Amino acid sequence: MTFRGVDKKYGDVFVIEDLNLNVLDEEFLVLVGPSGCGKTTALRMIAGLEEISRGTVAIGDRVVNDVAPKDRDIAMVFQNYALYPHMTVRENLEFGLRMRRTPDAEREARVAEAAELLGLASLLDRKPAQLSGGQRQRVALGRAIVRHPAVFLFDEPLSNLDAKLRVQMRAEIKRLQQRLKTTTVYVTHDQVEAMTMGSRIAVMHRGKIQQLGTPQEIYDRPENLFVASFVGTPPMNFFPATLDDGHAAASGFSLPIPSALAPRLPGGTKVILGIRPEDLVPSREEARGQSAPLPLVVDVVEPLGDALLVHGRAGEATVVGKLEPHQNPRVGERFDLWVELERMHVFDAATEERVKGDSPRLRE
Ligand SMILES: Nc1ncnc2c1ncn2[C@@H]1O[C@H](COP(=O)(O)OP(=O)(O)OP(=O)(O)O)[C@@H](O)[C@H]1O
Ligand SMILES: [Mg+2]
């Protein structure tokens, strides 16, 4: 499934601009980004529900720009499961197959298979109103599965469920996809959902893909400030700073720049330092690799049980550190945290791009 140079415009406004993306066979690709970034629009272009302003969409080797939605061999699951309320679960599951005049035996076999796979076998004679939210969502999945499509499209299918059920269904969908191996494009605005479900993630912002990679690549090496700020809970800490003789001077403190980056950062360069909360530790001994202290004045402490979040100020910046539990930072007092320098991210303040130690591209 491939987007090549795809634009989507409404009037003069680009909603999607020059989208290039190759979804691999059998892959679970997650499109994630904030509200309005163009996720649903991208999905609807694959489904054929939205006209393409420029470029091509291909499923397999076939360009489908002019292929009718029903002939594209895709199945889409929406946020509101859109079940037929007057039909039983069985009738809901088989509806699409009846429309396509699938032979009876084949239809029954596929419904039985999907019901078995989704744990719906005992519910086939119920109406949607007699089901829980999770069961309804499973019926919606079942309707997609019975089609045996080449591609599954999911548009925020879990957002109507409560938090606990969402976590459970997240794993169920992932398990299901691993079993069926059907190429899947899954849209969500929830970065945790994206990280946990995707074999690869495409982070979108303002109609453009900002970064494409495995969840770990995106977390460890965000390519720009947007991706860095979007992925991670609590979010990465950011400190505007100016380079001066191998150090980054932020307001109220200064940190050494990792030596691999130093050649790329002449004095006077304005940067944004990015430090993930878990890359701050309470002592030099606990730091992995080279480290430097960050003077912190604590204002809030949040015990999570398995970790302790400490919020405070370093100079003029606010900081969150994620520490091991059973420590005792006191509100109003100083509690220095140590920055693991090799894990510090550096972004060019002007371009908002990551400064790469090994990349010849960024600076002369
Ligand atoms: N028919 C339309 N006419 C004009 N603008 C539209 C139309 N449909 C969508 N848009 C705009 O296109 C942009 C992308 O919309 P889209 O629905 O793809 O966002 P999304 O990423 O799915 O957001 P959400 O997470 O809120 O569902 C939005 O700014 C939206 O206002
Ligand atoms: Mg949407």
Tens-digit pLDDT profile for residues 25-49: 999 999 999 999 999 999 999 999 9
> Which residue owns the Cα nearest ligand 1 atom 4?
10
What pLDDT is recorded for position 261? Answer: 86
Ligand showing the shortest atom-to-Cα distance for residue 31? 1
Checking if the pLDDT of 361 tops 50, the result is no
Alpha-carbon gap, residue 17 to 32, rounded angstroms:
16
Using an 8 Å Cβ cutoff, are 141 and 173 in contact?
A: yes
Task: Choose one of 182, 208, 227: the last residue of a domain.
Answer: 227
pLDDT one-digit tens code per residue, 142-196? 999 999 999 999 999 988 888 888 898 899 899 999 999 999 999 999 999 999 9
Is there a single domain that holds both residue 142 and residue 200?
Answer: yes
What pLDDT is recorded for position 241? Answer: 97
Asked if the structure places residue 363 within a domain, the reply is no
- Ligand 1 close to Cβ of residue 40 (< 6 A): yes
What pLDDT is recorded for position 363? Answer: 37
81 pLDDT band, cuts 50/70/90, is confident
What pLDDT is recorded for position 358? Answer: 55
Alpha-carbon gap, residue 106 to 167, rounded angstroms:
33
Please give the average per-residue pLDDT across 71-80, as a whole number.
Answer: 88
Ligand showing the shortest atom-to-Cα distance for residue 35? 1
pLDDT one-digit tens code per residue, 244-289? 988 999 998 999 998 888 888 889 999 999 999 999 999 999 999 8
Give the mutation target among 40, 186, 208 for probing the ligand 1 site: most ligand atoms within 8 A of CB: 40
Asked if the structure places residue 354 within a domain, the reply is no
Task: Please give the number of the atom of ligand 1 that sits closest to the Cα of 187.
Answer: 22
Other C-beta atoms closer than 10 Å to the C-beta of 307 total 14
Alpha-carbon gap, residue 184 to 41, rounded angstroms:
16
Alpha-carbon gap, residue 16 to 321, rounded angstroms:
36
Is there a single domain that holds both residue 257 and residue 206?
Answer: no
What pLDDT is recorded for position 210? Answer: 97
Burial class (CB in 10 A: 0-12, 13-18, 19+), 106: exposed
Give 358's Cβ-side CA count (13 Å radius). Answer: 1
Is there a single domain that holds both residue 171 and residue 278?
Answer: no
> Which residue owns the Cα nearest ligand 1 atom 31?
36
Other C-beta atoms closer than 10 Å to the C-beta of 108 total 14
Alpha-carbon gap, residue 122 to 231, rounded angstroms:
40
- Ligand 1 close to Cβ of residue 232 (< 6 A): no
Is there a single domain that holds both residue 159 and residue 49?
Answer: yes
What pLDDT is recorded for position 263? Answer: 83
Asked if the structure places residue 167 within a domain, the reply is yes
Using an 8 Å Cβ cutoff, are 276 and 269 in contact?
A: no
Checking if the pLDDT of 297 tops 80, the result is yes
203 pLDDT band, cuts 50/70/90, is very high
Q: Please state the length of the chain.
A: 364
Alpha-carbon gap, residue 67 to 249, rounded angstroms:
57
Please give the average per-residue pLDDT across 12-35, as a whole number.
Answer: 96
What pLDDT is recorded for position 364? Answer: 34
Task: Choose one of 227, 248, 266: the last residue of a domain.
Answer: 227
Is there a single domain that holds both residue 117 and residue 250?
Answer: no
Asked if the structure places residue 356 within a domain, the reply is no
What is the tally of structural domains in the chain? 2
> Which residue owns the Cα nearest ligand 1 atom 9?
41
What pLDDT is recorded for position 285? Answer: 93
- CB proximity list for 362: less than 8 A, separation 6 or greater: 264, 348, 353, 355, 356
Please give the average per-residue pLDDT across 337-361, as a whole number.
Answer: 86
Please give the average per-residue pLDDT across 61-84, as a whole number.
Answer: 90
357 pLDDT band, cuts 50/70/90, is confident
Angle between helices 89-99 and 104-118 (to 10 degrees): 140
What pLDDT is recorded for position 264? Answer: 84
- Domain at 305, CATH number: 2.40.50.140
Asked if the structure places residue 153 within a domain, the reply is yes
Is there a single domain that holds both residue 201 and residue 273?
Answer: no
> Which residue owns the Cα nearest ligand 1 atom 1?
10
What pLDDT is recorded for position 360? Answer: 43
- Domain at 13, CATH number: 3.40.50.300
Asked if the structure places residue 355 within a domain, the reply is no
- Ligand 1 close to Cβ of residue 41 (< 6 A): yes
> Which residue owns the Cα nearest ligand 1 atom 14?
38
Checking if the pLDDT of 362 tops 60, the result is no
Please give the average per-residue pLDDT across 204-221, as a whole number.
Answer: 97
Alpha-carbon gap, residue 139 to 157, rounded angstroms:
12
On whether the pTM is more than 0.75, the answer is: yes
CA of 35 to the centre of ligand 2 (A): 7
CA of 154 to the centre of ligand 2 (A): 10
Task: Please give the number of the atom of ligand 1 that sits closest to the Cα of 34.
Answer: 25
Asked if the structure places residue 362 within a domain, the reply is no
- Per-chain mean pLDDT for the chain: 93
Checking if the pLDDT of 359 tops 80, the result is no
Checking if the pLDDT of 11 tops 50, the result is yes
Asked if the structure places residue 143 within a domain, the reply is yes
Residue 254 domain boundaries: 234-348
Of 194, 215, 181, 227, nearest to 31 (Cα)?
194
Is there a single domain that holds both residue 155 and residue 91?
Answer: yes
Alpha-carbon gap, residue 38 to 28, rounded angstroms:
19
